[in-house]
Amino acid sequence: MDETRIIQAEDDDMKDAVREAVALLEGGDIVALPTETVYGLGADAFNPEAVAKVFEAKERPSFDPLIVHISHARQLEEVAVVPPEIEETVRKLISAYWPGPLTLVLPKTDRIPDLVTSGQPTVAVRQSAHRVFRGIGKQLGRPIAAPSANRFGRISPTSASAVMKELGGRIPLIVDAGACRDGLESTIIRIEPGEKKPVIHVLRPGPVTKKELQNFGRVIVEKKRLIDAPEAPGQLASHYAPRTPLLMFERPDDFHPEAGKRYGLLSYKEDPKAGYLHRHEWAVVEALSPGSGKLAEAAVRLFHVMRVLDEAGLDAIVAEPVSETGLGQAIMDRLRRASTP
């Protein structure tokens, strides 16, 4: 493949984009699609040859399973089996968050090829809220397997141009619907029956926060760990990484710049009180939340700002920490995994 086309899915007319994307997916090809979290690289989830193309384009190792996107809750039974012990909790979570950025890990049906789940007996499922993605899923009438549309281990794309930088020349089509609303990948959970309440294991923090999930059970956020075949490779210690080293410190004073090197600051709000802004003569400063949006704004801008700094020709990026409340938990998760050990 050498040319990647971008097709606009305009507000008033997305028919052409939907038609083209569906035609490619039906033909066993792969297409980059907008979701409310990040852009995904989609394939017909029931077609193993198509799914193989996703792994190939991303250079994704086969041990890293994909998320399956359904286009209405009824489709759930085609891809997953809901165990009766957790059925009530699943139902409540689905009615609260679908369509939206919550992914459930459930036992898979036989229709889901092993390649999608990397041979695991479980499948990760969500329903995207993005109108273009939904339009495509409905017209296709089959679930869409879609990981984030970046090369493996790299920064997730939140715009069509970011997808082009990651996968240009490797895929036939990118459906462009502008910037993603949330900017961070979905929250991934696994549910277990508990003694008094169900236990919700957060495998990857995301837009649906721990506090919100606490309304549905006891929440355990899985700790970062480095393992060979992770349960959610979003859990790999190094992930979401820019090519430029990204440094994080316990305290601002722990940063000791080397003479002659160019450093950029990934600041939360460009607030001097955080201790970083005047610590050094930064070559570039980019703020995650320059407006008043705080954590929600920071989440939307995180991958974009990481990409801008990565392209600034720096020797290293220094990232200020953000407070680990609400969405801050997912932001810090991504920053830590992007950082150089």
List the binding residues. 37, 60, 69, 122, 126, 146, 148, 156, 186, 204, 240
Give the nearest distance from C-beta 36 to ligand TXA in angstroms. Answer: 8
Give the nearest distance from C-beta 25 to ligand TXA in angstroms. Answer: 15
Give the nearest distance from C-beta 287 to Mg ion in angstroms. Answer: 24
Query: Using the rule CB under 6 A, is 233 a contact of ligand TXA?
Result: yes
Give the nearest distance from C-beta 7 to Mg ion in angstroms. Answer: 23
Contact flags string 146-185 toward ligand TXA, x per CB under 6 A: xxx------------------------------------x
Contact 105, 202 (CB under 8 A): no
Q: Which of residues 124-143 bind ligand TXA (CB under 6 A)?
A: 124
Distance CA 137, CA 132 (A): 9
Give the nearest distance from C-beta 233 to ligand TXA in angstroms. Answer: 4
Residue partners of 273: CB distance under 8 A and separation at least 6: none
Q: Which of residues 63-82 bind ligand TXA (CB under 6 A)?
A: 64-67
Give the nearest distance from C-beta 35 to ligand TXA in angstroms. Answer: 5
Burial degree of 178 (CB within 10 A; 0-12, 13-18, 19+): middle
Q: Which does 67 bind (CB under 5 to 8 A by kind): Mg ion, ligand TXA, none?
A: ligand TXA
Interface stretch with Mg ion, choices 75-83, 98-106, 145-153, 321-329 (CB under 5 A): 145-153
Q: Which does 123 bind (CB under 5 to 8 A by kind): Mg ion, ligand TXA, none?
A: ligand TXA
Query: Using the rule CB under 5 A, is 148 a contact of Mg ion?
Result: yes
Checking phi first, is residue 132 left (phi over 0); if not, alpha (psi -120 to 50) or beta? Answer: alpha
Position of minimal CB gap to Mg ion: 148
Distance CA 150, CA 156 (A): 6
Q: Which does 35 bind (CB under 5 to 8 A by kind): ligand TXA, Mg ion, none?
A: ligand TXA
Contact 291, 297 (CB under 8 A): yes
Contact 333, 207 (CB under 8 A): no
Q: C-alpha angle with apex 83: 80 to 84, nearest 5 degrees?
A: 135
282 φ, ψ to 5°?
-70, 140
* Range 260-264 contact pairs with CB under 8 angstroms and sequence separation of 24 or more: 261/315, 261/316, 262/313, 262/314, 262/315, 263/314, 263/315, 263/316, 263/317, 263/318, 264/309, 264/312, 264/314, 264/316, 264/317, 264/318
Q: Which does 242 bind (CB under 5 to 8 A by kind): ligand TXA, Mg ion, none?
A: none
Residues that bind Mg ion (CB under 5 A): 148
> What residue ranges bind ligand TXA (CB under 6 A)?
35, 37-38, 40, 64-67, 101, 103, 105, 117, 120, 122-124, 146-148, 185-186, 188, 203-204, 231-234
